[in-house]
Amino acid sequence: MGRGLLCHTTMATQGNKWAIVMSRGIELSDQVVELDFLYPSEGVHKRLDAGYFITSVAATQDQVAVVLSFPKQKPSNTTQETHRTPSFPCELIKENRTKNLYITSLCYGRSIV
């Protein structure tokens, strides 16, 4: 694992099919998947508070899955923000780049009203 970088996993969906990429040799001490029919907010926040990082997110019309990983050694000076928006977040992306925050995962899913 490079300095300041968290190794990422990948997950995607198409219709009702799931695709995942699983890796060996990355420096993680734990990894979990939070799965829900709406958004696994409670489980995600619990893991983030415990030091996990979101490393992948994907959604079908029926489910949302969030992969959270715990690095063996936490990178220094690391920040992660999550956002849910009703449309593509062009302005939010521009604003966050000025704070040196970059997209590490993005997915599209059903809107929850």
The DSSP output letter for 15 is: T
d(CA 88, CA 73): 33
**Looking at residues 8-15, what average pLDDT do you find?**
79
Instruction: Read off the pLDDT band of 109 (50, 70, 90).
Output: confident
Instruction: Read off the pLDDT band of 1 (50, 70, 90).
Output: very low
Which residue, chain included where needed, has tokens 């009702």? Answer: 16
Which tens digit of pLDDT belongs to each residue from 24-71?
777 888 888 898 887 788 888 999 999 898 888 888 888 888 999 888
Q: What is the pTM of this model?
A: 0.78
